[in-house]
Structures are given as structure tokens and as C-alpha cells.
Amino acid sequence: MDLPRHHTIREGDLRICNPFTPRKLATLGQVIKLRAGDTLLDLASGRGEMLCTWSRDHGVSGTGVDISTVSTDVARLRATEFGVADKVEFLHGDAGEFVAETPVDVAACIGATGIGGGVPGTVRLLERSLRPGGMLLVGEPFWRREPPDQETIEACHAERRDDWRDLTGLVTVFHELGWDLVEMVLADGDGWDRYAAAHWLNIRRWLDANPDDELAPAFREELTTDPLSYVRYRRNFLGWGVFALLKR
């Protein structure tokens, strides 16, 4: 049980594997008013940057769960680097099957709602680990503009227009599920640029070092096509944000 090798190569040394900058991540921790001693569960925790930085800066403790062995190992090293290894743990496993033994103050899934089959299923999964009155954090893409054609939809990593909602539709879903939206922090153009362009440099450096690898032709094609696809489509049509929810 692991992520495919091409995913790890593409992410390279990225610390935050979504369009958030460190400043945005710090803003999120501030605006949801984390308190020392709060407990947090992060499903599909990636490289652990959110849990590690918030433990360092706010005194929270918690658990991250991710299917990637590489990301889990990197997260553990980061916890040691930040001096919070006694407050946070990172588990390798299927986040879509994980429920905390002890209910937590904050349950999060940032940019990986596929673990629950979409937003509704992920909200229900997170709620199973949440104490009464606790907060959910859900990170999800949304349409910034209506996609005009199928080419745009596919360039934004969707198969159908309805794979993503617009911002109004996403907030409506939260309300229909019985949750109040109480905060949100949205990615901006700089965050998208840093995330997308970092992939291109990682791919190019890897190609230079591994020209005969079996993955090289596919990565060569991606490096040729993805920058244009990004500036033409994703940067203009796709938004992304983290939404803080309290049960109504």
C-alpha cells in the first residue's frame, strides 16, 4: 500500500503538497484560533507540514495518517527537526479507513477528499473522530470560473464539470450536510504558481539524472505540455481553499 513512484518524483522536496504557501498555512492556524493542548487528526497528512508547524507554533498534538511511505518518513523527520516528535505521530496507512480512538478537537482532510469518495463522505468520515463541538477542516478545489468546454475540465484534473463545485456550490454542500462555515482561507495565484512550477523543476532535474528510466518518456511529455495547460486553464479556472466547519 503506497503511492506510485511518479507521484513521489513529481512532488520532490515540496513541503506543502497543495497550492498553499507557508504564510497561508500559518494564517489558517491563526484564524481557527488553535489553543495549546488541542488535539488534531490529519487524514492524508502528506509530509506533515501542517501538523508539525502547528504543534511548534500553537502547542497542539495529534496524528497524521497517509498512504505514502515516503511522505510518512519525511513527516517524522520534520517532527524531529521541529522538536515536536513527542507531540505528533505519523502513521502509514489508509486514511479512508482511519478513526481516532480518542475524539479530537480538530479533524482535517486537506486536499484529499477522495479518501471518502468526495466531500460528503469525507465530512462523515472526519466526524467519526471529532469530539462534540469540535472543528472540521476540509481542503477542496472549486471552479473559479465556469469551464467552457471539456478540454478545460480535463486540464483541471476533472472528468466532468460536476467533479468540482463552484464556491457557492461547495458552501451550499457544507450547509446541506448540517455544518456552519466559520472560516476559510483560499489559495492565491502565487500559491498556485509555487505548487505547479515546483513540479516542473522537480521533473526536469529528475529527467536530467534519469534519462533512461522507464518513466522518462511520460515525464518528458508532461514537462512539455503541463506548463502551457497550467497557465491556460488551471490558473484561471480552478480555485482551492481550506474550509473550517462547526456542526450546526
* 152 within domain boundaries: no
* 59 within domain boundaries: yes
Give the pLDDT score at 2.
77
* 172 within domain boundaries: yes
| Tens of pLDDT, residues 146-198 | 999 999 999 999 999 999 999 999 999 999 999 999 999 999 999 999 999 99
Residues 234 and 196 sit within 8 Å (Cβ to Cβ): yes
Rounded to two decimals, what is the model's pTM?
0.96
Q: 139-153 burial, b for 16+ CB within 10 Å, e for fewer?
A: bbbbbbeebeeeebb
* 22 within domain boundaries: yes
Residue that is written with C-alpha cell 518528458 in the block = 220
**CATH classification of the domain holding 54:** 3.40.50.150
* 84 within domain boundaries: yes
| Tens of pLDDT, residues 77-88 | 999 999 999 999
Query: Which three three-digit cell numbers place residue 134?
Result: 469540535
* Average pLDDT of the segment spanning 26-39: 98
* Average pLDDT of the segment spanning 108-112: 97
On the question of pLDDT at 48 being above 90, the answer is yes
* 226 within domain boundaries: no
* Average pLDDT of the segment spanning 63-67: 97
* 213 within domain boundaries: no
Task: Please tell me the distance from the alpha carbon of residue 203 to that of residue 19, in angstroms, as a whole number.
Answer: 18
* 205 within domain boundaries: no
- What is the extent of the structural domain holding 178? 5-145+161-187+239-247
Tally of structural domains, the chain: 1
Give the pLDDT score at 3.
83
What are the beta bridge partners of residue 181?
A: 245
Query: What is the average pLDDT value for the chain, to the nearest integer?
Result: 97
Residue that is written with C-alpha cell 471552479 in the block = 143
On the question of pLDDT at 1 being above 90, the answer is no
Backbone angles phi, psi at 209, to 5 degrees: -90, -15
